[in-house]
A and B are shown apart, each in its own frame.
With several copies, the nearest count.
Chain A
Amino acid sequence: MKDDSFALAGRHYKSRLIVGTGKYRDFAETRAAIEESGAEIVTVAVRRVNITDPGKENLLDYIDPKKYQILPNTAGCYTVEEAVRTCRLAREAGVGDLVKLEVIGDQQTLFPDVPATLEAAKILVKDGFKVLPYITDDPVACLRLAEIGCAAVMPLAAPIGSGMGIRNPFNLRIILEQAKVPVIVDAGVGTASDAAEAMELGCDGLLINSAIASAKDPVAMARAMRLAVDAGRTAYLAGRIEMKLYATASSPLTGLIR
């Protein structure tokens, strides 16, 4: 296969895997896992600086913004205002205008608040942001977000951190067939085969955090996810065989001894 680069918000990336930086034991492990993952885009959260111990090491001492596209998220925001405010602070902090929009609707499920997400996306797009919205696997919500001008849509595969995998591949298939912007599966992936399955469905990219950071061996799982995304994408482009209920011999029927 020739060039199969991933175009997102005007840039091209080699890797279709986007990784988060939460839940690691320490920054060294974070860096090691991210390097192993091959990711070029890395999500981060926006939080108050530590006043009591300001000298303290910072994530960006380990994840070089010159090397990685930093993708600030609005995790923890439950209102349009909080989410918009967080994006503006992130942009001011100087990592550009690409943001991962999350407007959470409920603490138990961390599912998005669909109307609030649409409203925040409108404001942010008008404000010049390149918006990657976290959303339910709702084809209609995805259509609306594309109409609003989001750079991609990020339907969830399952609840954040649940590791349940792609609970509803049918909705994803519909979203992909209707999509006019890249579709990046966000949240729910638990293991490598889930990642491969998402890519085989035709997803453009995949965002993973917990499945890597909370694995027994995060660096090894980062490698597994890199391989799985590559495997799934390659299989998608290679064109899989049809499914059949019955068998088809793989050895010839002629020339058998009698």
Chain B
Amino acid sequence: MSTKFQITLNGESYAVSDDDRLVFLIDSLKLKRGRVAVEINREIVPKANWDRTRLAAGDIVEIVNFVGGG
């Protein structure tokens, strides 16, 4: 699948392919939906909207999960 455009994902440049839906990105990263949260350009994207949300060139995307901490 050919690259369509670049976004910044968790601080690093990332190539988005033809399928520019957020949900595709999540799945391609093999992330468990129930365990992560997503921000696009500082706006949280509720899980309910992942399917219809499309990425755009230059989007700043943050995907977080839980790690060990005190």
Contacts and interface: CB of A to CB of B under 8 A. Distances in A.
The reply to whether chain A is a binding partner of chain B is: yes
Interface of A: 20-24, 30, 43-49, 51, 54-55, 58-60, 70, 72-73, 75, 85, 88-95, 160-161, 207, 209-210, 213, 249-252, 255, 257-258
Interface of B: 9-12, 14, 29-32, 34-39, 42, 44, 46-47, 62-70
Nearest to A30: B68
A44 B37 contact: no
Given A51-B9, A51-B10, A92 B66 contact: no
Contacts of B9: 51
B65 to A, nearest CB: 5
B65 A20 contact: no
A59 to B, nearest CB: 6
A58 B70 contact: no
B44 A49 contact: no
Contacts of B65: 46-47, 49, 58, 60, 93
B70 A93 contact: no
B37 A23 contact: no
A120 B32 CA distance: 30
A51 B38 CA distance: 13
Contacts of B38: 92
Contacts of B30: 54-55
Contacts of B63: 48-49, 51
A121 B61 CA distance: 26
Nearest to A213: B70
B69 A250 contact: yes
14 contacts: A20-B70, A30-B68, A43-B70, A44-B66, A44-B69, A45-B66, A47-B66, A47-B67, A49-B36, A51-B29, A59-B66, A89-B37, A89-B64, A160-B70
B36 A93 contact: yes
A73 to B, nearest CB: 6
Contacts of B42: 85
Nearest to A19: B70
The 5 residue pairs across chains A and B that have the minimum distance between CB atoms: A45-B69, A250-B70, A20-B70, A209-B70, A251-B69
Contacts of A58: 32, 35, 65-66
Most buried by A among B11, B12, B30, B66: B66
A20 B34 CA distance: 21
Given A49-B64, A93-B64, A21 B34 contact: no
A51 to B, nearest CB: 6
